[in-house]
Every structure is written in C-alpha cells, then in structure tokens.
Amino acid sequence: MSLGDLFARLALAEVNRDVFRNIVSLRSSQDLFDDLSDDPAEWALAQKVEGDAKPPPYRSATPVLHRPFEDAEWFNAIAWPFQNWQASRFSDGRHGVWYGSESVETTVHESAWHWRNGLLADAGFEKLSVVAERKVYVVACAAALLDFRPLTADWPDLLHPHDYSFPRSVGARIHREGHPGLLIQSVRRPQGENFAVFNPALLSSPRHHLQLSYRLEGDSIVVEKTPGVVWFGLHAEDFGARPPG
C-alpha cells in the first residue's frame, strides 16, 4: 500500500492536553546563595523569596518572534528542535520536529534507547559506567493532529525499530503540506504514545516537571528521580540491540 493510501485513511485527533518533553540537562548547578550562608535550608528560603518577588515569566503567543531570549524555558522545552534541525524518525534533517509523550515513563523509554544505542554506542561507551542527567518539561499542546494510531498494523514500517525511511517520507509530506503534527504509538514503549509536532505555534506554557538521572550499568539503565534512589530500571530487552550500519 502506498503513501497516498495511508494518508487517504487518516483521521484527525483533537488534542488539548499537557505533553511531556525529556531533554538533556544538568541536575544541579552552583547555588546562587551559597556565598551568603552554609545552610541549605537558608538557600531554599532565599530562592523562595526571590521566586515570590519575581514578576511572572514572559509569555507570548509567538515567543520565538517576540523577545526570543526572554524565556529560557521556552527555548529549552519548545524552540530548540525548530531552530536546530536533526535527523529523526519523521525528519531527514531538513526540517524540525518536536517530540513529546503522554507520560514521563514513555519519554524515559524513548530517550534511554536513543542515549544507549545512539550517542553511547557511536562513541564506544555502551559498555562503560556512564551517567546522564535529564530534565522533563510539561508543555501544553492544542491542535488537531493526524492520527496514525489505528493504521500502524497495516503500515508496520511506521514503527520500525531503526529503519526510518518510510516514516521520514511521511514526515516530509506532512512538512511540505503544512500539517501541524501527528499522534502515534511509541516504538520503545508500545503502551505509550508520542506526539510529533511540526509547528511550534501548537505548543505553549512550558513548565519544569522533574529531573532524572540515567546510569548505564552493563546491559541495564537505572533511572533515578532522586540521586541514589532507583525509580525503575531498563534492561537489554527493553531497549534492544544497536541498529545495524
């Protein structure tokens, strides 16, 4: 069946909800108030006072155009993939795509797979003890998205674990025709769902949700919300073998 047959069967999914975005980030940096006191409780109090005194963060309907450096959260959680194009499942690198998931757990499965089988494997580090720090944002998404979920059984290449040639042809058509984005099952966590957004105007209100650490231990990845406290683990069968080539 052709790409045209696939698009002829597509329906729209009305989406008006928060979506989770998982990105690389530092867990902690030097506290701005540590030169005023040696007591971490007093640092926290100073941070609270500072937060209460600050004006609300700038919000624009088109923040990338209006004062783009005003809100770092907007850039980190939303704008980056639209300004730094990269090859991915639905892009060959010639246009930007923003990816989010319906839950934190799905973002972990997706990002951990790419971390181990992409970055670490390419560098030859997949058998070493390595720690990565991640930040999860909540972002509001309001759009009518192309709904691929009912069609993946007939077009299984949409969910191929490492051959992205067919989904990239789908993404190229979506980008060319100006569709806002799509909704599809997660490849790395089948019970999860992913949102691929092609237009940043669909996304708003980025908020920091939590910080995570990934620790590679042999063939497993240990995920922590609090340093030293295991949240859950992913094993070799969860994130599969390295793609060939």
Q: Where are the domains of the chain?
A: 3-239
The model's pTM = 0.78
Residue 39 has what pLDDT?
60
Tell me the two tokens of residue 230: 């295991």
Q: Residue 194: name the closest of 93, 108, 131 by CA.
A: 108
Residue 217 has what pLDDT?
82
Cβ neighbours of residue 131 under 8 Å, at least 6 residues apart?
A: 213, 214, 215, 216
Per-residue pLDDT tens over the stretch 2-42 = 899 999 999 999 999 999 999 988 544 444 444 555 565 65
Per-residue pLDDT tens over the stretch 173-224 = 999 999 999 999 999 999 999 999 999 999 999 999 999 999 888 778 899 9
**207 DSSP β-pair partners:** 138
Q: pLDDT band at residue 119, thresholds of 50, 70 and 90? A: low
